[in-house]
Amino acid sequence: MSLRLTPKLSLKSSSAHAPHRSGCGFDFFLCSGMREQEVMHSSWNDLDFAHSTVTVRWKPQYGWSPKAYKGREIPLPLRLITALKDARIRAIAGCELLFPTSGCKPKNDFLDCLKAVAKRSGMDPKNFWLHKFRSTFATRSLQGGCDLRTVQNWMGQVDLESTLRYLKPARGSAVRDKVEAIFG
């Protein structure tokens, strides 16, 4: 099931001192398809503002490594890059993490924050999980025309079957238009 953002579910909160407080944290989950631990350990050095990418890489200082010890590069939309540039200005001085706690430790309460946002929006918090951002990223990327191998690489999946589960059959007039474009 993919996450549907509605006006009722705002991912922004009232404070704007760090990326996770300005809404960038959840947008980062959605637009990168990264796993929770990958987001927790993302640093400013992982961002390439010039190429609009984020790199998932080993972080020995935190005793953390990517799943299967495999790093990767993921493209990010310009609107998120712009928001992250703005957030960097307000970031904690001397802290390399994108989403730190006040003590510059990896933020580990994203799920609690997401459920609190859902509850404040009048929605059932039990229906919200961080993995929904990841599955929405994969589904939207595939529906948008990205090939399976590219999405597999962005998501850091070794097995193509893991990526295939996000591929849904196309339906409706868009399918008819594609058939006409190919064979018509």
Report the 3 state secondary structure along 122-146.
CCCHHHCCCHHHHHHHHHHHHHCCC
Could you give the CA distance from residue 30 to residue 133 in angstroms, rounded to a whole number?
5
Average pLDDT over residues 65-70: 84
What is the model's pLDDT at position 12?
43
Higher pLDDT, 167 or 48: 48
- Cα(143)–Cα(26) distance, rounded to whole angstroms? 21
Share of the chain above pLDDT 70, in %: 88
What is the 8-class DSSP label of residue 36? Answer: H
SS3 43: strand
Task: Residue 142: name the closest of 183, 170, 101 by CA.
Answer: 170
Set out the domains of the chain in order of their start, with CATH numbers. Answer: 19-183 (1.10.443.10)
Distances (CA, A) of 144 to 6, 54, 62, 75, 148: 20, 20, 36, 14, 11
Q: How sure is the predictor about 11, in pLDDT bands with cuts at 50, 70 and 90?
A: very low
- Mean residue pLDDT of the chain comes to 86
Picking from 85, 90, 99, 83, the residue whose alpha carbon sits closest to that of residue 37 is: 99
Q: In this structure, which amino acid lies at residue 85?
A: K
When pLDDT is cut at 50, 70 and 90, the band that residue 23 belongs to is low
